[in-house]
Amino acid sequence: MTDPLRLGIAGLGTVGTGVVKIVQRQAALLQARSGRAVQISAVSARTRDKDRGVRLGGYAWEDDPVALATRDDVDVFVELMGGSDGPAKAATEAALAAGKDVVTANKAMLAVHGQALAETAEAAGQVLRFEAAVAGGIPVVKALTEGLAGNEITRVMGVMNGTCNYILTRMEATGQGYNALFEEADKLGYLEADPNLDVGGIDAGHKLALLASIAFGTQVSFDNVQLEGIQRIEIADIEQARDMGYRIKLLGVAQMTGRGLEQRMQPCLVPADSPLGQLEGGTNMVVLEGDSVEQIVLRGPGAGEGPTASAVMSDVMDIARGIRLATFGQPAAGLQPATPANSAVPAPYYIRTQLFDKPGALAKVATALGESGVSIDRMRQYGHDEPTAPVLFVTHKTTKEALDAAMDGMAQCDVVDGTPVAIRIEAV
Ligand code: NAP
Ligand code: HSE
């Protein structure tokens, strides 16, 4: 009979307790599917006597996650503590050095140290897997690494932060501003301990960088993700975008261009009737495009106990079945450093300005756009809000450089009140 696969779980919070519950509840199913029992040998967390709503009595306890990671009765170290450095990194390194396989949900650690950790793991014949780190319960790492292994990937897109999508869709549904919905998300416990990870686009940027590495065979390059959060989105933008047939999403896009790897995580307008445009609440969606498959859309819960633990168990089950894939879909030592594209592929933009209502105001703004080479596709003026009126433009495709020059030109016009807002319109 095959030996059981023995887990050591560090971190018994939302995800860790979810994993314990699956191992306990689905023991027979896991054994039937992998041909061996999947068991927990030992666990670790900061506070031993916390009631976590799960039975932990049969497992050894370690205060120190490094000690847990190196125990003789642990085959797979399951890292569910979080944090890019500190105990998560120390224990992962210790586990690999001790010959253990590692499963983690920690996108922050992998976005920064993923290349080095994967090289260490693979050099020693160990595996390091991270399905749960990207888009929670959606098996997107598997889809890219295995399902689309025969495709040249042309583009990866997605809404990968549920908190931001919750805030944006609630702004639209309730007509309330960003600050009120941020408070609501906070009360519901949706925000990370450092909320800027969510609303600043950093968490979603980590996830995009991990997918881009698999998709384009490049080393993880989080520093080259162009990041912009949702903090500056106003209810006026949400409503006016909707009026023109769009919705605003914190959208990640990664694509290989002639100028290098483009990775962007920023608020974008997407057509309201597209799959991404119809995404509500905390749900995630990832769109993968390949030369043969064309486009596939994956939608599902991006966070939470059950969905994230489900993804952790997908990696655990691969190891139980003897499936030993490279962390990023090909040997880490062969991944090339990404050459960052210095500018984004041209796109149309939505521009919102507040103009003083006086003769020639529109002409001055149109001149600022024209002088920067930005062509107007559509224009709309809304009801007066004395002494100014909101005026919207949708441009033809333009470069970001031309757009920035036009925005500077507009800001200097004496007919513009405040700072104009520009948001990219993405073809999805
Ligand atoms: P969490 O609820 O905050 O739980 C973290 C756990 O780690 C807690 O049990 C904590 O112990 C333990 N811990 C923290 N520092 C420790 C240390 N120095 N030594 C030992 N244990 C320590 O976090 P989570 O939401 O489960 O997230 C875990 C990981 O999954 C993170 O990398 C996160 O980014 C990732 N993830 C989470 C979700 C989600 O929906 N929550 C989704 C995708 C990915 P105490 O309980 O004693 O404080
Ligand atoms: N904070 C993340 C989100 C959940 O809102 O999607 C974990 O990835």
pLDDT of residue 383: 76
Give yes or no for residue 163 CB within 6 A of ligand 2.
yes
Tally of domains within the chain: 3
> Where does the pLDDT of residue 386 fall: very low under 50, low under 70, confident under 90, or very high at 90 and above?
confident
In a domain, 341, yes or no: no
Strand 246-257 to 226-227 pairing: unpaired
What CATH number did the domain enclosing 238 receive? 3.30.360.10
Flag whether 335 is in a domain: no
Taking 90 as the threshold, does the pLDDT of residue 90 lie above it?
A: yes
**Each residue of 298-339: pLDDT tens digit?**
999 999 999 999 999 999 999 999 999 999 999 999 999 999
% helix, strand, coil for the chain, step of 5: 40, 25, 35
* Domain at 28, CATH number: 3.40.50.720
Domain that holds residue 72: 5-137+326-330
Kindly report, residue by residue over 255-290, the tens digit of the pLDDT: 999 999 999 999 999 999 999 999 999 999 999 999
Shared domain check, 69 and 112: yes
Site to substitute for ligand 2 among 163, 167, 188, 312, most atoms within 8 A of C-beta: 163
Lining residues, ligand 1, CB within 6 Å: 10-16, 44-47, 50, 65, 80-82, 87, 105-107, 132-133, 136, 303-304, 308
Q: How many Å lie between the centroid of ligand 2 and the Cα of residue 217?
A: 25
DSSP 36: S
Instruction: Assign residue 375 the CATH number of its domain.
Output: 3.30.70.260
Whether pLDDT at 403 is above 70: yes
- Residue 310 maps to a domain: no
Type of residue at 277: G
pTM of the model: 0.96
Same domain, 109 and 123: yes
Spatial separation of the C-alpha atoms in residues 298 and 111, rounded to whole Å: 22
Tell me, in angstroms, the distance from the centre of ligand 2 to residue 302's CA. 6
Question: With contact defined as beta carbons under 8 Å apart, do 26 and 314 qualify?
Answer: no
Q: Say what the pLDDT of residue 343 is.
A: 85
Specify whether 381 is located in the same domain as 289: no
Same domain assignment for residues 162 and 222: yes
CA 163 to ligand 2: nearest atom: 5
Same domain, 132 and 146: no
Decide whether any atom of ligand 2 lies within 6 Å of the 162 Cβ. yes
Q: Is 89 helix (H, G, I), strand (E, B) or coil?
A: helix
pLDDT one-digit tens code per residue, 128-155: 999 999 999 999 999 999 999 999 999 9
Rounded to 5°, the CA angle 170-378-341 comes to 75
pLDDT in the model for residue 381? 87
Q: Which residue, judged by its Cα, is nearest atom 2 of ligand 2?
A: 161
Q: Is the pLDDT of residue 27 over 90?
A: yes
304 CA distance to ligand 2 middle (Å): 8
- Give the strand pairing for 283-290 and 153-159: antiparallel
Q: How confident is the model at residue 125 (pLDDT cuts 50, 70, 90)?
A: very high
Residue nearest to atom 6 of ligand 1 (CA): 11
In a domain, residue 343? The reply is no
Residue numbers in the known binding site are 10-17, 107, 192
pLDDT digits (tens, 9 = 90+) for 36-74: 999 999 999 999 999 999 999 999 999 999 999 999 999
b/e per residue 345-369 (b: at least 16 CB within 10 A): bebbbbbbbbbeeeeebbebbeebb
Q: What percent of the chain has pLDDT over 90?
A: 92
Residue 359 in this model has a pLDDT that exceeds 80: yes
pLDDT for residue 193: 86
**Ligand 2 mean position to 135 CA, how many Å?**
8
Per-residue pLDDT of 329-350, as tens digits, reads 999 999 999 999 988 999 999 9
Residue appearing with tokens 């990968």: 160
Residues 146 and 281 in one domain: yes
What pLDDT is recorded for position 1? 67
Together in a domain, 38 and 80: yes
Mean pLDDT within 376-402: 90
The residues annotated as belonging to the active site are 207
The verdict on residue 71 lying in a domain is yes
Summarize the annotated binding site for L-homoserine as residue ranges. Answer: 192
12, part of any domain:
yes
Q: Which ligand is nearest to the CA of 51?
A: 1
- The pLDDT tens digits for 197-232 are 999 999 999 999 999 999 999 999 999 999 999 999
Residue 392 in domain: yes
Neighbours of 228 (CB within 10 A): 17
Regarding whether 273 and 211 lie in a shared domain, the answer is yes
In a domain, residue 338? The reply is no
Q: Are residues 124 and 178 in the same domain?
A: no
Other beta carbons less than 10 A from residue 108's beta carbon = 20
Do 160 and 181 share a domain, yes or no? yes
Do residues 208 and 297 share a domain? Answer: yes
* DSSP per position, 220-258: --GGGSEE--STT--HHHHHHHHHTTEEEEEEEEEEEET
Say whether both 109 and 208 belong to one domain. no
| pLDDT for the residue 192 | 87
